[in-house]
Amino acid sequence: MSPDLKKIGFWKPLTAFDVVLHPRRWGYVFRYPISIKFEDSEWAQHPSVIRWTYSQRLHEKRLLLTFTSENTYKLLSYRWRNIANALGRLIRHSPKIEFNDIPVDVSDCTDASVPEDTFRFAKLFSDPHDLIPNPFLLKRTRRAWRSIEWENKKDSLYFRGALTGTLQSFDNSRVAACIAAKKIINSDCGLSDFRQTQPTFLGTLRSQGLCAEKDPTKTLNKHRYLLDIDGNTSSWHRFWLIGTFGCVPIRFETKWIEYWHKNIEEGKHFSYANRETLCQVVDFLRKHPEKAMSIANNASEFVRNELSPVCAQKFFEEAWLRRIH
């Protein structure tokens, strides 16, 4: 193995403590063994792209990851670790596969200028790149939530989220949704994080009552209608949460695409709204509770069947194998 490669341990001590309390989880103590290297090359113009290599013959049964950015290695470790573990599962039942320098963008995937053969988690419709499941969907363990029964949920519209995206203005879809929701009875929609926002605009948002405290995740479970709005790109696991909690997803001005979006249908798995139609959409759902319950049930079924760890892993492996064969 090349001397510029650094071996990274596969032991997870925090998870090990959890296994003491939950012995059946022992299999999650270990990550797939990897080696990393940092390279100054033309790939440095895309610092969030990691290149992946594997050969049982050449690399001691270790995945090789090539970085061009120390920040990507340190700050996005949760993301590339989940990809490494997913590849490890693929390698375990296909140990003779080999691949070399397959690029994956582990950022929020806002940069469409990455090379066309780069895997991304999300893209716009016109982008040519292939998609793989985002790191949340690739996790083997997720928190088990129990949904509140429909009749016990508030007949209310809810949203909490960060003000993200390049548009830090009233044109931003998350801002527009919160403004539109003010006209709706029993709505609780607000922005709760402003790391990308200039102080002047933040002051304007506060003066208009568009800011709110960040709520615990379980708060989503109390409401019937939940907004799913793009952030920097797609909102990743928000649809999963909405379906898990048995609520109606209202996809608001969504433009970003993930691999599973082609399998959901408007009117069956979600309702769609924009800043002009949100009031009418919520009003329709309230006047047609059977339809609203049907959408909520279909969204829940889709999440259970299509966004499970097993299904995400299956799609990931199929996409990866298509690339190398």
3-state DSSP helix/strand/coil % of the chain, to nearest 5: 40, 20, 40
Same-domain pairing of 166 and 295:
yes
pLDDT tens track for 253-288: 999 999 999 999 999 999 999 999 999 999 999 999
Instruction: Return the pLDDT at 226.
Output: 99
Task: Write down which residue in 108, 138, 168 finishes a domain.
Answer: 138
Domain annotation covers residue 321: no
Rounded CA separation 317/288 (Å): 41
Least confident of 58-62, 181-185, 212-216: 58-62
Determine phi and psi for 121, rounding to 5 degrees.
-90, -25
CB 156 within 8 Å of CB 187 = yes
Domain annotation covers residue 221: yes
Instruction: Return the pLDDT at 296.
Output: 99
Task: Write down which residue in 138, 166, 181 finishes a domain.
Answer: 138
Q: Per the structure block, which two tokens stand in for 79?
A: 């993301």
Give how far Cα 129 sits from Cα of 46, 105, 224, 318, 324, Å. 15, 11, 35, 15, 15
Instruction: Return the pLDDT at 81.
Output: 93
pLDDT band at 14 (very low <50, low <70, confident <90, very high): very low
Domain annotation covers residue 130: yes
The strands making up 49-54's β-sheet, listed across from edge to edge, are: 6-8, 34-38, 63-67, 49-54, 99-105
pLDDT tens track for 218-238: 999 999 999 999 999 998 899
What mean pLDDT is reported for the chain?
91
Same-domain pairing of 89 and 218:
no
pLDDT tens track for 138-195: 998 888 889 999 999 999 999 999 999 888 899 999 999 999 999 999 999 999 999 8
Domain annotation covers residue 322: no
Same-domain pairing of 131 and 162:
no
Domain annotation covers residue 119: yes
Same-domain pairing of 47 and 121:
yes
Domain annotation covers residue 157: yes
Q: Per the structure block, which two tokens stand in for 195?
A: 């790391």
| Closest of 148, 159, 229 to residue 191, by C-alpha | 159
Same-domain pairing of 159 and 271:
yes
Domain annotation covers residue 295: yes
Can you spell out the DSSP letters for 17-31?
HHHHH-GGGGGGSBP
Same-domain pairing of 130 and 157:
no
Same-domain pairing of 45 and 117:
yes
Largest pairwise CA distance in the chain: 68
- pLDDT for residue 15 is more than 60: no
pTM above 0.75, yes or no: yes
Domain limits for position 110? 6-138
Task: Write down which residue in 84, 117, 138 finishes a domain.
Answer: 138
Domain annotation covers residue 313: no
Same-domain pairing of 125 and 15:
yes
We report the CATH number of the domain holding residue 273 as 3.40.50.2000
Instruction: Return the pLDDT at 141.
Output: 80
Determine phi and psi for 137, rounding to 5 degrees.
-65, -25
pLDDT band at 23 (very low <50, low <70, confident <90, very high): low
Instruction: Return the pLDDT at 28.
Output: 45
Give me the residues paired with residue 52 across strands.
65, 102
201 burial via Cβ count (<10 Å: 0-12, 13-18, 19+):
middle
Residue with tokens 């709204």: 273
Higher pLDDT, 70 or 15: 70
Contacts of 97 (CB under 8 A, 6+ apart): 54, 90, 91, 321, 324
Q: What mean pLDDT do residues 201-215 have?
A: 95
Same-domain pairing of 53 and 75:
yes
Same-domain pairing of 19 and 107:
yes
280 burial via Cβ count (<10 Å: 0-12, 13-18, 19+):
exposed
CB 141 within 8 Å of CB 118 = no
Same-domain pairing of 127 and 37:
yes
Same-domain pairing of 186 and 268:
yes
Looking at the 3D structure of the chain, how many domains does it have? Answer: 2
